[in-house]
Amino acid sequence: MTQTDMTMTNQSNGQSNGNVGSEAVIVAKDVEKWYDNGFNVLKGVSLDVYKGEVVVVMGPSGSGKSTFIRTFNALEPYQKGKITIDGIEISHDLKNIEEVRREVGMVFQQFNLFPHLTVLQNVTLAPIWVRKQKKREAEEIAMQLLERVGILAQANKFPGQMSGGQQQRVAIARSLAMQPKIMLFDEPTSALDPEMVREVLDVMRGLADSGMTMVCVTHEVGFAREVADRVVLMDEGLLVEENTPDEFFNNPQEDRSKKFLSQIL
Amino acid sequence: MASRSNSPISGIQSLLRDERFWKIAFQALIVLFVVDLLWHFSATLNDNMLGRGINFGFGFLGNPAGFAIGESLLDYQAQDAYSKVIQVGIINSLRVMIVGVILATTVGITAGVASFSDNWLLYKISRAYVGLVRNVPLLLQLFFWYLAVFFSFPAPRNPFLFPNANMSWLVLSKKGIYIPGPAFTPATWTGIILLAVSLLLIGLVFNSVKVVRSGSYRGGVGPLLGYGFSLLMIPVLLVAEFFLLFNWDAEKGLYFKGAFPSLMSSPQGLWVIVLLALIIPLVVLARWRTQVIVEQGQSGKPQLVAIALLLLLGLGILLFALGWESPVAALKDDGTFTGGVTGGLKLSLEYAAIVTGLTFYTGAFIAEIVRAGIQSVSQGQWEAARSLGLNSGLAMRMVVFPQALRVIIPPLNSEFANLAKNSSLALAIGYPDLYSVANTTFNQTGRPVEVFLLMMATYLIINLLISFNMNQLNSAVQFKER
Amino acid sequence: MTTTSPNSPLVVESSPPPIAQSGPVAWLRKHLFNTWYNTLLTVILAVVMLLAVWGIFNWAFRLAEWAVVPNNLALFMSGLYPAAQRSRIWAMLGVNVAMAGVTWGLLARNQAQLFGRSILIGVGILCAGLIIFPLTRPSAVALIGMVVLTLACAWGGKALGQRKLNLTQFLSAAWFLVYSISLLILAGGDIRNSLLFLVATIVLSIWLASIVFNVLTKFSVVDAISGNTVGIWAMRVLWFGGSLALFLPVYGFLNVPLPLKIVTMVTYIAFVSLLVPILADRRTLTTFVVAASMFGLGCFLITVVADLIGGTIGLQAIGTNNWGGLTLTLFLAITGIALCFPIGVLMALGRRSNLPIIKGLSIAYIELIRGVPLISILFMGQVMIPLFLPEGVRPDNIVRAIVGLTLFSSAYLAENVRAGLQAIPRGQSEAAASLGLNNPLTLSLIVLPQALKTAIPAIVGQFISLFQDTTLLGIVGLVELLGISNSILANPKYLGDYSEAYLFIAMLYWFFCYAMSLGSRRIELALNTER
């Protein structure tokens, strides 16, 4: 069976993608974080993410889910616990932080494209300046990525001239240009009009199929059911329940999970 | 698998790679450089001053000044001490700043509102005024007013009288501009100015008290410093307020009496106190009336009557108790003018020039600020207010203007500060404001550093006062947002 | 065919509006006379305006003595500049005007029509004004020639911009070059002492160094050195020596007690000289040291070769005492804004930093300077700068003035840039960080370009203020435009001609300030067409 066939069968069975590896690329152990005003946003969260796995993090607003995944690429510092990305520990070590950020890509809710640069320039900026690639090389790779997300025709336009869905796809291509090992998605479709959500989710689906390790914070239940290997629920800074999508949506164990699901399903 | 060496790194290497280390190290280096620089400059300064035989110190302030000052509200003679000179300068500057702020705001609001007028001529005139005045330097305008306009006034022996020679409301000559004015002694004027300054200080006191009471000194060095500073400021400010308001001895250290003693030294001053005291019952009555209308549904008429009576009383005091006089040009026996003028309020040409120049220049900038503020309120607000049944006056007062104020006050803050600083240009036209007398002082004493420190500290304090009070106003008009 | 009820018409034809809805009479009624108070207001204002206009025209054409302006035109324009060298002023004007025209054309390359109606009207008024103004005939002709030059260069700039797309990024460099050339023409002197030569040396050295560096890379010399233990230690020693050599001369002259000197020296050596080479990876260090050495060598060689050419090359030197009038005003304003820019940006960044010391120092600098009047800073500059410097060092009056103006403007510019920085959403720097860009890269590639674009109106406003503030230098003894007017008016021949002289320079100031604010709006529009 070809890889595509296998994934299709697995998806229709509601089982996890058979491509999950055995090594944990993200190891987060007892992570605790306090904001400057003293608020304890993460109260001891542990999560292991394996290579090729797609983990969806859900939860009510204020549960700390965005903050948690932002600790994975050192955008948010944490005070207690230990996070290791692909063997590199995230600490105050400057070199480590640099390395982690090269291995982890992130897609934001507000896209955060650079408005003063064209789409192509947005995608080639980091490879040229951080990975020190030559401009022509970077542009070739960028064009391939843009084609993959379906934006090739707009390569020389500015972000302000594009719709939200198109911008988010460019943002995905921009992160992929750095050839990361892990992709983080922080509510990527929450700021989009409904008709554009589909195109972005399709790109994310394709990415998952190609074996990328992904951690997504999202409210898109359909995506979670079909693509995720694991769904995790966070509430009030703690990890409440984690399970396969099937089990999670059909058979929630915890009360808080049941309450949350009753609100979104 | 990531390709990096797994070899353990030495202690010092891990220290070097720690971002906290570099943050501290970098700041330490900067502190050292700054300290070096400051030390270097002050040491060189000291050496150079010693070379000239001058020791750094403020003792010279007690020495007699030996130069005359054109105009002064304090009774200044040429042999008075330098510290008195500085105080005269400060009061002269305050005279310009206070009047300038009031007039400039009036002109600015008028021109700003006029730019929304549907009368084409008025609109064009206001735009032309703003476009013309903003693009010509202030100093040039000051010179123009002083030399080209005011200096072309007739000689004192041939003054211009308006409306006629027997009953003049206005006397213009090269000696000055004379307008009808209340019979205030210089002490009364000083008292009014001091009262105004003390009101500004009160804003600062309230702010410090608020910071101390909120007790938030967690969260880093910044808030802690702010807390400590406010704690320190409260006693300092209270002492300053005491001296401003109640200082009794006008010959030792401070050469002016506090606001209340100054005002109480003359009958008109007492009436001024009464007039200002009327504000308190007025405010109370207005609040009571609003409360009665809103909460109890009464008509509020009795309060309105009381307010009206109080206003009439105030108007009466204003018109009759303050002793208004018209300027009278003194006549010789043969009907020609001696050049002297009795009665009325005398505005020297220098004072008139600096106030006029500042008013029109700052007024143009304020007009633009007001215009931007009113424009920022969307048309929808007007429409919503009208559709609720509010007439255009109420709509402007209750809906549009408060929202416009949000946008107007921050830039207005810096415009007032600019006016205060621009008043220092009085040097160029010979009005003895703070900067001007400071200039003469350091030329005479050869001590630029001390005098500059004093003078710059004063301007900084004035700026601080304006900025704090405007910030209070700003917070009051903000919306509460999520 | 629609069905209609019996009583309503099938189609309502549009009928003409009631009379007096359009036309000049209607316009008057609507805008000037629509209510009784407006009518009254219009009448009063019209009367006052007519009286004022008649009075002004009466004065301007009959009573005023305009001789003061054409008789002293050279003084107004260039101060005490020697008459024989005045052609240099015209040359300078020509160069700048040409560059301005080219810039205009380049920025407007996407516009359909370069010379729109409003521009042609403006140019027409300008030329008419030049003819009517009390100027000498030759000057008026030359100035009209300058206008024509601007238009021609604008046309050329537009053509150039349409052919080659990426020229806008070279605009700042080109203007800097024009500034250096103008300075050279104005000040004269040996060309080897000029700013232009310095810039040329640096650019040439960089170019030479990069050529040599590329050759070295081809032969893998850099890798060889960084791989070799001896090589890398040689690099470290060179770094140590170089940073000390740059630092010690400055430090040796500081007037501070010895213990403080030692502490600072040790700290400096510890961090910059010793720790950086350990921290940086070998390849980067080698690259940097090799490149820097090539650069230094290049500068040295060029200077030596240039000095070998004997004698003086260049125009006659004209000391700063002879600069004055409008030329001096423009020079002071342009130099002031150019210098205050980097300082202002640094202070704005410092104020937004998280490091408390940096933030505190920036706030202290900005608020202290913004809290005092400009004239006190300028006087401080004139009077006190000699006191802060060792015996015998007496900087030029103009240098002191520029220091004062720069310090003052940088504090205000810092606030304007800070507003621009605050307008950038946090997500931009987060996105940059998540892509792996470090702080300096994020700043220079992402944050600053956007912030500066947003802050352009405020920055141009600051420039206009600075231009107006040059008038204060007249009080501290410099003979810029206002200062020289006062000197001219002190001449008994022109006693009392205040209005004429002041009106003339007021028109000059007005023209420049108004042109700048118009230009700022155009620049904004031009930069936004990129979107």
Residues 59 through 78 of chain A touching chain C, CB cutoff 8 Å: 73, 75
**What is the torsional sign of CA B369, B374, B377, B379?**
negative
A92: chain B residues, CB-CB within 8 Å: 18-20
Q: Which pLDDT belongs to residue C413?
A: 93
Testing the interface with A: which of B9, B18, B26, B482 to mutate, by most A Cβ within 10 A? B18
* Mean pLDDT in residue range B101-113: 93
For the cut 60, the answer to whether the pLDDT of residue B468 exceeds it is yes
pLDDT one-digit tens code per residue, B203-232: 778 778 877 887 666 656 667 777 787 888
Rounded-to-integer distance, Cα C336 and Cα C187, Å: 17
C482: chain B residues, CB-CB within 8 Å: 137, 139-140, 143
Residue of B nearest to C260 (CA): B36
Note whether C437 contacts A129, CB cutoff 8 Å: yes
Judge whether A153 and A93 are in contact, CB under 8 Å: no
Of C428, C445, C531, which is closest to A125 when you measure between CB atoms?
C445
Residue of B nearest to C264 (CA): B32
Of C430, C435, C446, which is closest to A178 when you measure between CB atoms?
C435
A37: chain B residues, CB-CB within 8 Å: 219
Rounded-to-integer distance, Cα B82 and Cα B65, Å: 5
Per the model's pLDDT, the better-predicted residue between B256 and A79 turns out to be A79
Rounded-to-integer distance, Cα C165 and Cα C109, Å: 10
Sheet strands side by side (includes B160-163): B160-163, B168-173, B176-179, B345-347
Q: Which pLDDT belongs to residue B359?
A: 96
- Model confidence at A18, pLDDT cuts 50, 70, 90, reads low
- Model confidence at B335, pLDDT cuts 50, 70, 90, reads low
pLDDT one-digit tens code per residue, C23-81: 777 777 777 777 777 788 888 889 999 999 999 888 888 887 888 888 888 888 888 88
pLDDT one-digit tens code per residue, C316-339: 888 888 888 899 999 999 999 899
Rounded-to-integer distance, Cα A45 and Cα A63, Å: 12
Testing the interface with C: which of B119, B427, B466 to mutate, by most C Cβ within 10 A? B119
Q: Which pLDDT belongs to residue B423?
A: 95
Any CB–CB contact under 8 A between C425 and chain A? yes
A73-87, B261-275, C408-422, C478-492: least confidently modelled range: B261-275
- State the smallest CA–CA distance between residue B459 and chain C in angstroms: 6
Residue C482: partners with Cβ closer than 8 Å, 6 or more residues away: B137, B139, B140, B143, C471, C474, C505
Any CB–CB contact under 8 A between A160 and chain C? yes
Q: Which pLDDT belongs to residue A13?
A: 39
**Crossing angle of helices C171-187/C325-351, nearest 10°?**
140
Touching A (3+ Cβ pairs <8 A), the chains are B, C
Of B27, B138, B424, which is closest to C357 when you measure between CB atoms?
B27
Any CB–CB contact under 8 A between C445 and chain A? yes
Residue B400: partners with Cβ closer than 8 Å, 6 or more residues away: B374, B377, B381, B382, B385
Q: Which pLDDT belongs to residue B4?
A: 44
| Distance, CA of B296 to chain centre | 41
Any CB–CB contact under 8 A between A103 and chain C? no
For the cut 50, the answer to whether the pLDDT of residue A6 exceeds it is no
Judge whether C492 and C332 are in contact, CB under 8 Å: no
Q: Which pLDDT belongs to residue A203?
A: 93
Per the model's pLDDT, the better-predicted residue between C352 and B168 turns out to be C352
Q: Which pLDDT belongs to residue A7?
A: 39
For the cut 90, the answer to whether the pLDDT of residue B81 exceeds it is no
* Mean pLDDT in residue range C423-438: 91
Q: What are φ and ψ of residue C283, in 5° steps?
A: -65, -45
Three-class DSSP category at C292: helix
Testing the interface with A: which of C275, C281, C284, C434 to mutate, by most A Cβ within 10 A? C434
C33, HSE (Cβ side, Cα atoms, 13 Å): 8
Q: Which pLDDT belongs to residue B268?
A: 83
Any CB–CB contact under 8 A between B481 and chain A? no
Q: Which pLDDT belongs to residue B216?
A: 64
Note whether B121 contacts C32, CB cutoff 8 Å: yes
Note whether B459 contacts C45, CB cutoff 8 Å: no
C433: chain A residues, CB-CB within 8 Å: 75, 101
Mean pLDDT of chain B: 83
Rounded-to-integer distance, Cα A252 and Cα A221, Å: 14
Rounded-to-integer distance, Cα C374 and Cα C409, Å: 9
What number of C-beta contacts closer than 8 Å exist between B and C?
Answer: 176
Q: What is the 3-state secondary structure (H, E, C) of chain B?
A: CCCCCCCCCCHHHHHHCEHHHHHHHHHHHHHHHHHHHHHHHHHHHHHHHHHCCCCCCCHHHHCECCCCCCCCCCCCCCCCEHHHHHHHHHHHHHHHHHHHHHHHHHHHHHHHHHCCCCCHHHHHHHHHHHHHHHCCCHHHHHHHHHHHHHHHCCCCCCCEEEECCCCEEEEEECCEEEECEECCCHHHHHHHHHHHHHHHHHHHHHHHHHHHHHCCCCCCHHHHHHHHHHHHHHHHHHHHHHHHHHCCCCCECECCCCHHHHHHCCHHHHHHHHHHHCHHHHHHHHHHHHHHHHHHCCCCHHHHHHHHHHHHHHHHHHHHHCCEECCEEEECCCCCEEEEEECCEEECHHHHHHHHHHHHHHHHHHHHHHHHHHHHCCHHHHHHHHHCCCCHHHHHHHHHHHHHHHHHHHHHHHHHHHHHHHHHHHHHHCCCCHHHHHHHHHHHHCCHHHHHHHHHHHHHHHHHHHHHHHHHHHHHHCCCCC
Of A37, A93, A103, which is closest to B2 when you measure between CB atoms?
A103
C530: chain A residues, CB-CB within 8 Å: 116, 158
For the cut 60, the answer to whether the pLDDT of residue A161 exceeds it is yes
- State the smallest CA–CA distance between residue C118 and chain A in angstroms: 30
Q: Which pLDDT belongs to residue B237?
A: 84
Mean pLDDT of chain C: 84
pLDDT one-digit tens code per residue, B275-307: 888 888 888 888 888 888 888 777 778 888 888
Touching C (3+ Cβ pairs <8 A), the chains are A, B
- Model confidence at B100, pLDDT cuts 50, 70, 90, reads very high
Any CB–CB contact under 8 A between B4 and chain A? yes
> How much of chain B exceeds pLDDT 70, in percent?
92
Any CB–CB contact under 8 A between C434 and chain A? yes
- Model confidence at B360, pLDDT cuts 50, 70, 90, reads very high
Element spanning C265, H or E: helix C258-268
Judge whether B258 and B246 are in contact, CB under 8 Å: yes
Note whether A37 contacts B4, CB cutoff 8 Å: no
* Mean pLDDT in residue range B195-199: 86
Any CB–CB contact under 8 A between A94 and chain B? yes
A22-31, A115-124, C6-15, C464-473: least confidently modelled range: C6-15
* Mean pLDDT in residue range C358-381: 90
Count of other CB atoms within 10 angstroms of residue A43: 16
- State the smallest CA–CA distance between residue A112 and chain C in angstroms: 6
What are the DSSP E strand ranges found in C186-256? none
- A85 has which bridge partners? A26, A88
Any CB–CB contact under 8 A between A104 and chain C? yes
Of C427, C435, C450, which is closest to A126 when you measure between CB atoms?
C435
The stretches of A210-241 forming alpha helices (DSSP H) are 221-227
For the cut 70, the answer to whether the pLDDT of residue C507 exceeds it is yes
* Mean pLDDT in residue range C136-146: 84
Mean pLDDT of chain A: 88
Any CB–CB contact under 8 A between A136 and chain B? no
Note whether B439 contacts C379, CB cutoff 8 Å: yes
Three-class DSSP category at A45: strand
For the cut 50, the answer to whether the pLDDT of residue C385 exceeds it is yes
Q: What are φ and ψ of residue B445, in 5° steps?
A: -90, -15
Q: What are φ and ψ of residue A192, in 5° steps?
A: -105, 150
Per the model's pLDDT, the better-predicted residue between C408 and B331 turns out to be C408
* Mean pLDDT in residue range B432-459: 88
- Model confidence at B9, pLDDT cuts 50, 70, 90, reads low
Judge whether A67 and A76 are in contact, CB under 8 Å: yes
- State the smallest CA–CA distance between residue C476 and chain B in angstroms: 10
Pairing of strands B345-347, B176-179: antiparallel
* Mean pLDDT in residue range B18-39: 85
B81-88 long-range contacts (CB < 8 A, ≥24 apart) are B82/B441, B82/B445, B83/B253, B83/B255, B84/B255, B85/B437, B85/B441, B86/B61, B86/B434, B86/B437, B86/B438, B86/B441, B86/B454, B87/B254, B87/B255, B87/B256, B88/B255, B88/B432, B88/B437
- B170 has which bridge partners? B162
Count of other CB atoms within 10 angstroms of residue C87: 10
B17: chain C residues, CB-CB within 8 Å: 279
Note whether A96 contacts B17, CB cutoff 8 Å: yes
- Complete DSSP assignment for A97-152: HHHHHHHEEEE-TT----TTS-HHHHHHHHHHHTS---HHHHHHHHHHHHHHHT-G
- Model confidence at C529, pLDDT cuts 50, 70, 90, reads low
Note whether A125 contacts C435, CB cutoff 8 Å: yes
Residue of C nearest to A129 (CA): C437
Q: Which pLDDT belongs to residue B274?
A: 86
> How much of chain A exceeds pLDDT 70, in percent?
93
Q: Which pLDDT belongs to residue B6?
A: 46
Rounded-to-integer distance, Cα A194 and Cα A192, Å: 6
Token readout for B73 is 């509200």
- Model confidence at C279, pLDDT cuts 50, 70, 90, reads low
- State the smallest CA–CA distance between residue A127 and chain C in angstroms: 9
Q: Which pLDDT belongs to residue B108?
A: 94
Three-class DSSP category at C390: coil
Any CB–CB contact under 8 A between C441 and chain A? yes
| Peptide bond connecting A77 to the previous residue in cis, omega within 30 degrees of 0 | no
Note whether C255 contacts B23, CB cutoff 8 Å: no
For the cut 90, the answer to whether the pLDDT of residue A142 exceeds it is yes
Note whether B20 contacts A92, CB cutoff 8 Å: yes
pLDDT one-digit tens code per residue, C338-361: 999 999 999 999 998 888 889 989
Testing the interface with C: which of A112, A135, A181 to mutate, by most C Cβ within 10 A? A112
